[in-house]
Amino acid sequence: MNKTVTFGEVMLRLATPGYERFGQGNMLSATFGGGEANVAVSLANYGLPVSFVTRVPDNDIAAACLRELRGFGVDVNDVIKGGNRLGIYFLETGAVSRGSKVIYDRAGSAIAQIEPGMIDWDKVLEGAGWFHWTGITPAISEGAAKVCLEAVKKCNEKGITVSCDLNYRKNLWKWGKKASEVMPDLVACTDIVLGNEEDAQMALGIKPEGVDVSAGKVDADAYLSVSKQIMARFPRCRKVITTLRGSINANHNKWAGVLYDGKTLFKSREYDITHIVDRVGGGDSFMGGLIYGLRVYEDDQKALDFAVAASCLKHTIYGDYNRVTVQEVEKLMGGDASGRVAR
């Protein structure tokens, strides 16, 4: 199978141990993570060829990050060097009625200073069949937005499938333009779109028709309305997917998803995740599972089911990355959620 290429920022993650608050302890656990890197790790774990492209400084912290990604089987040979720092995010894990908290320290990071022409996309995309980006990347800086657009246009020229996770983050759009001014040009070049109602409204200005999503319950009509509007506005788009998270508390969520292919709205089973170890990267693990499913399986229902099961398992794993195998995901898809010891 030809390779998948993902493009975006990878960061140093500094997390308080257990459920400690920021001002409580004197230790932080250091790992790495970032939306597109997380997707790349998932695909590598599933045995698919994948490369991750970014810009990092030429220092020991960035080298450790690339070494870790390489250890998962992710190709990082097209990562470019430059700038002075790797972005950082601090994580405080919530419990029960206290939600988790994230503080970003990514201003002036290496990828925030990227400019068009720095990446040779003809070289990077050689042998590629799929390209993935998220709405986080164009939010970082004008340069990152332009390079992302540069990439997806090149993919369109080459006939490479493009997927995105709209991933609207209001606190990141600081560089002068709103998401709704930047994202439409990128989505116009995209074939597979993942996002919820808020993402669609804030990034694309699309709202569900005839449905009040603020009423406390969102039904299938809302997903169908948004999906149809995205497809009508962006003719290249052929599938729209939405993750469905029911947050009972910080440790207990319900998890499912829907996929619309222009004709049928496919629905997954709902998982009851009663003990969350780490939900950071949950959406990325869904996207990684979805890309795998759409590339390997014959039908959209099975692809959706794989994505939901894969991301359900991610909630049981510490860190950004989903360290699971195809066999583990398919076992859960088959209905075995017992968690019995494998001997």
- Per-residue model confidence as pLDDT tens digits over 272-319: 999 999 989 999 999 999 999 999 998 999 999 999 999 999 999 999
Report whether 137 contacts 190 (CB < 8 A). Answer: no
Computed over every residue of the chain, the mean pLDDT equals 93
The two structure tokens encoding residue 288: 């990684």
- Residue 89 is given by DSSP the state E
What pLDDT sits at residue 228?
Answer: 95
The two structure tokens encoding residue 304: 């959706």
Tell me the pTM: 0.94
Residue 343 inside a domain? The answer is no
**What CA–CA distance (Å, rounded) separates 176 from 174?**
6
Residue 71 inside a domain? The answer is yes
Residue 295 inside a domain? The answer is yes
Residue 342 inside a domain? The answer is no
Beta-carbon contacts of residue 309 (< 8 Å; ≥ 6 apart): 271, 289, 329, 330, 332, 333
* Strand spans (E) along 25-76: 29-33, 50-53, 55-56
* Cβ neighbours, 10 Å, residue 67: 11
- Per-residue model confidence as pLDDT tens digits over 197-256: 889 999 999 988 765 655 555 566 778 999 999 999 999 999 999 998 888 999 999 999
pLDDT surpassing 60 at residue 112: yes
* Angle, CA of 334, 337 and 340, to the nearest 5°: 115
Number of domains comprising the chain: 1
- Per-residue model confidence as pLDDT tens digits over 253-268: 999 999 999 999 999 9
Residue 340 inside a domain? The answer is no
- Per-residue model confidence as pLDDT tens digits over 77-99: 999 999 999 999 999 999 999 99
Q: Which domain holds residue 324?
A: 3-333
**What CA–CA distance (Å, rounded) separates 204 from 182?**
9
- Per-residue model confidence as pLDDT tens digits over 3-25: 999 999 999 999 999 999 999 97
What pLDDT sits at residue 171?
Answer: 84
Residue 176 inside a domain? The answer is yes
The two structure tokens encoding residue 12: 């140093």
Residue 39 inside a domain? The answer is yes
Identity (one letter) of the amino acid at 241? I
Three-state secondary structure call for residue 270: coil
Q: Residue 102 maps to which CATH number?
A: 3.40.1190.20
Three-state secondary structure call for residue 204: helix
**What CA–CA distance (Å, rounded) separates 312 from 282?**
8
The partner residues of 308 in beta bridges, in order of sequence, read none
- Per-residue model confidence as pLDDT tens digits over 43-68: 999 999 999 999 999 999 999 999 99
Three-state secondary structure call for residue 338: coil
Residue 341 inside a domain? The answer is no
